[in-house]
Amino acid sequence: FSTASEFSVQVKDSEGCPRYAGLWVKGVQVAPSPAWLVRRLESVGLNSINNIVDITNFVMLELGQPLHAFDAKELNGKQVLIRRAQESENFVTLDGTELKLNSDDLVIADEKRVLALAGVIGGKNSGVGENTQEIFIESAFFNSQGVRRTARRHGLETDSSQRFSRGTDPEGVVLALLRAAQLMVELAGGEASKDFIDEYPVSVKCSEISLRSSYVEERVGYPVDPSKLVDWIHRLGCKINEKGPGEWTVIAPLYRWDLQREIDLVEEYARLEGYDKIPEAFPVLQEAPTKVEGQYALDDRIQNFWAQRGYSQAINYNFLSGEFLKEFLGSTEELKNVGLPTSKEGIRLQNPLSEELSTLRTALVPGLFLNMVNNLRYGSDRGGLFEIGGVYSQTSEEFAQQERLGLILWGQPAGLWGESQAPLVFRLKRHLEILLESLLIQSVQWKTPHQGSNPSFVHPGQWTGLFCEGRFIGYIGTLHPQWSEKYKIQGPVAVAELDRQALLRGQPRWTKAKSIAKFPQVERDLSFLIPRDLPAGDLVPVIQKAGSPYIQNVEIFAQFEGDKLPVGMKSISYRFWLQKTDGSFSESEWKDMQSKIQAQITKKFPAQLR
């Protein structure tokens, strides 16, 4: 019988499908494939389905030409159309996925419906089943760019689409068709038609590439023997016509779609000749090294600072789960009060990779917290992480980005007689103070904006804001116990987040050198009674100003609360280091300074000297 007598093929889009061939096989019996065919497919990772489908897969692997088998009884009418899909045309794939097509999709159709998405996947309504007796085999050459766009648009990555996307051989279409028909007759019985349909109106042209030996030498870096170059290009299956001394026109075979430009031929020559032939040479630096911008130099200093203190740098995605962000941060008003403006709702992506990465982060600490949880699961009982990165917020219709420094520290360091009992947040606080000192940032105070203003994820009694040079630039605190309980974290956790731009302001700053003092420092202590709700650190800048320029440093070294003190009061002890450049401090000078400090403190605070 004749395939042409059964039906015809009409290619309505020759650009998307330059060649289409088909052949009819009647009287087949769909059954399991023989053992040898199953083994061959499994050896390359393909599962056996039935003898008909397995034959199309086998020929695709054998010859590199994808095929598709239709149940011929399911075709409506006597014509197969290769056309563009209509807008919003429905199509159900072999695996049951429902798709909405558009006019950019090339389809195989009959008179009533779509049978297959060209070069990508077949349809459920015309697939081969156990009752199939008549087969129409399709072998075609589809435009690689069109198949690639269609597969990407619908999220379909099949063996067929992978091969068509990379380019197949239009001259191998008929060979693969006849090979599949031969195997179907041998393994499934039936009878193949004595002829086949082959629509190939305009032959696909081979790529013509100009090749110059001078260009090859320039790219590989050593002299090239023209005769050897021509020999290697011949062995690739290319035809070569000489244009002049050292110049040729190369006609690439149709199955080598990767040979399109002169540089492609250079790559093939270098590979065949051997990469070991390329001489080793240091690149010539044509320009002087560029100056490192201030912000990058500052980042390097910050990164080195934390790395030297045992912290590891975290580099997280800019995305997090929107639900987790909202739950972890709670109300964001408290973060605004410490100089870290944060949106109540994160900015959700239109096309997120997953729900876990669906929202632009509004703070660094939530991501560092998840990093810590993963480290604890792998047995890292103590450690520290830092991250320098952007966070995102939205005000009205505008989006804003702020660069920040985030920190997390967990697990007490081991001491001589066991683990240290000092609160972990003090260790992180001291590290931050050293960083600020190294950056020469002045007027550093630790204080809260107002009572009850703590972020919801930190302990309300173990946190404080960082106030530098007249403004809040961040916070530090102990993680709230509710988060430790929820994630079964045994030890303490300290967190901090700072405005990186505030650290960058005025950088680089330069240290003013001083001559070595000839006279020793004098150490003195003072204790004040102050209200319990007054932060002890608020007195430090007043003390420094009153004792300037002789006070070199001030530290808080003791706090006392008890029944012996007035109700609502606490005792704070401060230690001063005094030094003069023109002599030693006398006792009378110290008493004068003490009186001056006392006067300033009692003037600005409800405090008294003990």
pLDDT, tens only, 33-78: 999 999 999 999 999 999 999 999 999 999 999 999 999 998 888 8
pTM of the predicted model, to two decimals? 0.53
Which pLDDT score, from 0 to 100, does residue 140 have? 96
Q: What is the pLDDT of residues 346-368, one digit of tens each?
A: 888 888 888 888 999 999 999 99
What are 354's two structure tokens?
A: 């997953």
How many C-beta neighbours within 10 Å does residue 278 have?
13
The CATH fold assigned to 294-504 is BirA Bifunctional Protein; domain 2 (3.30.930)
pLDDT digits (tens, 9 = 90+) for 587-597: 888 888 889 99
CA–CA separation, 550 and 493 (whole Å): 39
* pLDDT confidence bin for 175, thresholds 50/70/90: very high
CATH fold of 522-609: Alpha-Beta Plaits (3.30.70)
More confident residue, 51 or 421: 51
CA distance 83 to 105: 9
Other CB atoms closer than 10 Å to residue 520's CB: what's the count? Answer: 11
Is residue 190 predicted with pLDDT exceeding 90?
A: no
Q: Per-residue pLDDT for 416 more than 60? A: no
* CATH architecture group of domain 3-199: 3-Layer(bba) Sandwich (3.50)
Q: Indicate whether 532 pLDDT > 60.
A: yes
Element (H, E) at 201: none
Query: In the prediction, which pLDDT does 16 show?
Result: 93
Average pLDDT of the chain, as a whole number: 89
Residue 403, pLDDT > 80, answer yes
Which band of pLDDT confidence, cut at 50, 70 and 90, is reported for residue 377?
very high
- Number of Cβ within 10 Å of residue 101's Cβ equals 21
Q: Do domains 208-277 and 522-609 have the same CATH topology?
A: no
User: Which CATH number among 2.170.270.10, 3.30.450.20, 3.30.56.10, 1.10.1740.10 corresponds to the domain 208-277?
Assistant: 3.30.56.10
pLDDT digits (tens, 9 = 90+) for 301-336: 899 999 999 999 999 999 999 899 989 988 878 888
Amino acid identity, position 4 = A
One-letter amino acid for residue 568 of the chain: G
Q: What does DSSP say about strands 19-26 and 197-199: parallel, antiparallel, or unpaired?
A: antiparallel
Q: What is the mean pLDDT of residues 266-294?
A: 82
> Which residues, other chains included, contact 138 with Cβ-Cβ below 8 Å and sequence gap of 6+?
20, 21, 22, 67, 68, 69, 70, 108, 116
Cα separation, 172 vs 163, whole angstroms? 13
Chain centroid to CA 71: how far?
45
Cα 154 to Cα 82, 105, 125, 150, 158, distances in angstroms? 19, 10, 19, 6, 12
Ordered by start, the domain boundaries in the chain are: 3-199, 208-277, 294-504, 522-609
Rg (CA), the chain: 39
Q: Do residues 211 and 248 touch, judged by C-beta distance below 8 A?
A: yes
Long-range contacts of 513-517 (CB under 8 A, 24+ apart): 515/581, 517/579, 517/581
Q: Answer for the pair 51, 167: CB distance below 8 angstroms, yes or no.
A: no
**What is the share, in percent, of the chain residues with pLDDT greater than 90?**
54
pLDDT band for position 390 (cuts 50, 70, 90) = very high
Over pLDDT 70: what percentage of the chain?
A: 97
φ and ψ at 189, to 5 degrees? 70, -160
